[in-house]
Amino acid sequence: MTVIIRSFLGSLRPASNFPQKKYQSIAPGFWRMLAACLLIVVSGVFAPRIIQAAPPDAPYELALSQFRSGKFREATATLRSALQQYPQNAQFELLLARCYYEIGDLNRATEHAESAADNDPSSSEAHLWLGRVYGRKAEQSHSLTLASKTRKEFEKAVDLSPHNIEARRDLMEFYLQAPWLLGGSKDKARKQADAIAALDPVEGALARARFDELTGQPAQAAAEYQQALAMKPDRLGPYMEAADFYLKQRNVGGLKQAIAAALKVNAADLRLDYYRGVAHVLEGSHFVEAERELKAYINHGPFRSDFPSPASALSWLGRLYERWGRPQLAVEQYQAALELDPHLEGAREGLQRLQKP
């Protein structure tokens, strides 16, 4: 913009064949004054747009750092303050929606996710997260309307960015789990899995594994997870997905394999304490280590929504004490788990076992 202004002002200078002598006494001061005045006027016209368009990097980077550290309420305060200075900023709105999503305030998450999508309708990420918020609300309220909105937002996210693997994964899972009335379809889900495989072989193996798992084919799912692990991805996500699958299958060998491979990628990740502790409980050994690891995970916090929940860790700690022959401690852990998540079946079943008359 400065170049444009300077070019515009340069065009106001007297041409080389201008009769200089006639205007010699006024030209130097006059043209400098005119240029300065026009610069002020033109800058005044364009300045609001320049300021509005300037990327507010500092507050966003601070909020993002707070978000990644699990400091969701601090990030929320940073973003709300920044939005007063940069209203209708889709980037801020989207991150704020994700903060409220993590906190569990789905009404505010919806408000800001919708604002992000309205302010930047071409953003695949904004529509993906709006779909996730709608989906979480649909689960809680059993709303068919919100479930339909969820599908539409996931489809919109994929249409806007066919390379958005996360959007394709969410859409695939929706197609698999939703009834036909809401657009559910195994064929549509398989097409999404195939599209993901064409984009990334590791993500493709994970998508197909999840497809097999949700369609009741655990042996095929295990084979797909083995294929994903064999490719030795350099990020933790695939190992954590495999660990979750093996845990649900109570497959201690597969769980320990996923943990060992994940340790080579990032041994400091706190989720490994959780999975190691659970593996010991399932194996019925190393109770002292299992207690230390599960407590380390529980006490670390705060947790993101894509991490094992503290309630789940408390439930496994209760299972540990139950197997260890310490029923009162087990009851306390199960009760604490149910306070956090009243629908946690493992904790409820454990409590029922120990409180039988």
Domain ranges in the chain are: 272-357
The one-letter code for the residue type at 155 is E
State the pLDDT confidence band at 57, using cuts at 50, 70 and 90.
confident
pLDDT band at 356 (very low <50, low <70, confident <90, very high): confident
Q: What's residue 12's pLDDT?
A: 35
Encode pLDDT of 299-352 as tens digits.
987 788 889 999 999 999 999 999 999 999 999 999 999 999 999 999 999 999
Q: pLDDT for 161-192, tens place per residue?
A: 999 999 999 999 999 999 999 999 999 999 99
Please tell me which residue, 39 or 90, carries the higher pLDDT value.
90
Q: What is the pTM of this model?
A: 0.80
CATH 3.20.20.70 fits 272-357, yes or no: no
